[in-house]
Amino acid sequence: MAKIETLNGINVELIREDFPILKRKVHGNHLAYLDSAATSQKPASVIAVINEFYSTHNATVHRGVYQMSQEATARYKDAHVKVARFINARSYEEIVFVRNATEAINLIAYSWGRANIKAGDVILLTEMEHHSNLVPWQLLAREKGARLEFISVDKDGLLDLQEMKENIDGRIRLIAVTHMSNVLGTINPVKLITEFAHENGALILVDAAQTVPRYAVDVQEIDCDFMVFSGHKMLAPNGIGALYAKSEILEDMKPFITGGNMIQEVKLRESKWGELPWRFEAGTPAIEEGIALGTAIDYLEGLGMESIENYERQIVAYAMERLSEIDGIEIYGPSSEQRGGLVSFNLAGIQPHDIAAALDYDGIAIRAGHHCAQPLHEKLGIKASARASFYLYNTREEVDRLVNGLHKAKKVFG
């Protein structure tokens, strides 16, 4: 009999019942979905609220006086309030809904960066950034004559913060750092990096796409100036994400996209922007996706973020232990105590995409490639890696299936 796993007393098998897709089979095998760092699966409550919106509330927001529009507007605003509470922002006015973390970073680069970054300024990043938190700054630095500098990654997959303090020359204007590496799993000390940023007169952007779904993240405790994350990694639909920014910073930023809904007054030759956060949400927004993000937060809060974190740490520790038993495996990143719920690895003599394809025949879904972190893979001396990532609905039995599948792949590929 399979061991019943619990999430601080909550039966994980019951949690899995909330996710319809986990009942499907792939190539005749029960699905073991180990790719939640790319996107999470969705609980029935999130799926249902989208259907409910289109069945009972479908109307545009902010502009209608009729009942359905008022209902949609109230629920859409309430979703902003839920996100603000979830990350402990001071007000919903500090929460801008965007399509995803990528759009949020681009918004910052265009609206804040182009007004504040000047020739000779330093934008400080890390060697482990996702392309979304690298390419926009490359373009901005090239346009403004600014300079990119990088906090290096040491042999254990950790940031060299001492080097950061000692070797950065020039006026640092912005630090942009991932909270958790989507390749190494490394959880970075963003509060310490924030203190360093503010001591040097810089602002800090935290890419929390991997941490907000699984940890209790408090923007006031961190004191970051910007934070971004995507809904689809935290049980919500695709096409919705959030930008957090301190209200005093948002007030000084020009809108990224202009048009309808984000204005207070329009004349033929000039316009006045609307209130926060709506001035950054031009046009008809992703209303149902925003409402569903609020429902996803309800689900996560119902389980408790501390419980989710503790359970995921147990799963990744078990995965690290089991995977390390495989001859010829190389695991990247720090120990399980210093990482979130993912493991990137390679098997000697087998290409990562071949590993992923072989596992798929056993119904096991993992990711292979450079995971939109090509410079980090170059630093590691590899072109690609296989990655298994875990979330609140995964079990030790699925880890065992992964390990057995890797043993089988070794036999197949010799």
Question: Do 11 and 54 share a domain, yes or no?
Answer: no
Tell me the torsion sign for CA atoms 246, 252, 257, 258: positive
Total number of domains constituting the chain: 2
Q: 318-351 as b/e, with b when 16 or more CB fall inside 10 Å?
A: bbbebbeebeebebbbbebeebbbbbbbbbeebe
Handedness of CA 219, 222, 225, 229 (dihedral sign): negative
- Residue-wise pLDDT for 313-366, tens only, equals 999 999 999 999 999 999 999 999 999 999 999 999 999 999 999 999 999 999
- Asked whether residue 229 is domain-assigned, the answer is yes
Tell whether 402 is covered by a domain. yes
pLDDT of the residue at 127:
98
Same domain assignment for residues 266 and 320: no
The whole domain housing 265 covers 48-302
Adjacent-strand bridge partners of 273 = 263
Q: What pLDDT was estimated at residue 6?
A: 66
Torsion of CA 388, 392, 395, 396, to 10 degrees: 70
Last residue of a domain, one of 302, 329, 350: 302
Kindly state whether residue 287 falls inside one of the protein's structural domains: yes
- Same domain for 270 and 403, yes or no, is no
Examine the domain organization and report whether 128 and 142 are in the same domain.
yes
Residue 1 in this model has a pLDDT that exceeds 70? no
Q: Is residue 1 part of a domain?
A: no
Residues 64 and 159 in one domain: yes
The reply to whether 140 and 227 lie within a common domain is yes
159 & 237 share domain: yes
pLDDT digits (tens, 9 = 90+) for 154-163: 999 999 999 8
pLDDT at 4: 56
303 by Cβ neighbours in 10 Å (0-12 / 13-18 / 19+) ranks as middle
**Interatomic CA distance for residues 206 and 268, integer angstroms:** 39
Give the Cα separation of 7 and 62 in Å (integer). 40
Q: Copy the structure tokens of residue 184.
A: 């190494």
- The predicted structure's pLDDT at residue 7: 67
- For residue 22, what are the CA distances in angstroms to 16, 17, 25? 7, 8, 8
Q: Identify the three-state secondary structure at position 177.
A: strand
**Pair 120, 149 in one domain:** yes
Residues with active-site annotation: 372
Among 256, 271, 302, residue at a domain's last position: 302
- CATH code assigned at 239: 3.40.640.10
Other residues' Cβ atoms within 10 Å of the Cβ of residue 249: 16
The Cα 57–Cα 166 span in angstroms is 56
Same domain, 175 and 297: yes
Q: What is the pTM of this model?
A: 0.96
* Average pLDDT for 137-141: 98
pLDDT in tens, 231-247: 999 999 999 999 999 99
**CA-wise closest residue to 215 among 88, 133, 304:** 304
Average pLDDT over the chain, rounded to an integer: 95
Phi and psi for 380 in degrees, rounded to 5?
-80, -10
Query: By C-alpha distance, which of 119, 103, 121, 101 is closest to 111?
Result: 103
Q: How far apart are CA 362 and CA 369, in angstroms?
A: 20
Contact status, residue 139 vs residue 148, Cβ threshold 8 Å:
no
Is residue 207 within 8 Å of residue 178, measured between CB atoms? Answer: yes
Instruction: Looking at the structure, tell me whether residues 320 and 378 fall in a common domain.
Output: yes
* pLDDT tens figures, 260-312: 888 889 899 999 998 999 999 999 999 999 999 999 999 999 999 999 999 99
**% of the chain at pLDDT higher than 90:** 92
224 and 319 together in one domain = no
Evaluate whether residue 35 is within a structural domain.
yes
pLDDT of residue 169: 73
Residue 116 lies in a domain: yes
Residues 251 and 276 occupy one common structural domain: yes
In a domain, residue 336? The reply is: yes
For residue 171, tell me if it sits in a domain: yes
Domain edge (last residue) among 283, 302, 321: 302
Question: Where residue 2 falls among pLDDT bands split at 50, 70, 90?
Answer: very low
CATH number at residue 13: 3.90.1150.10
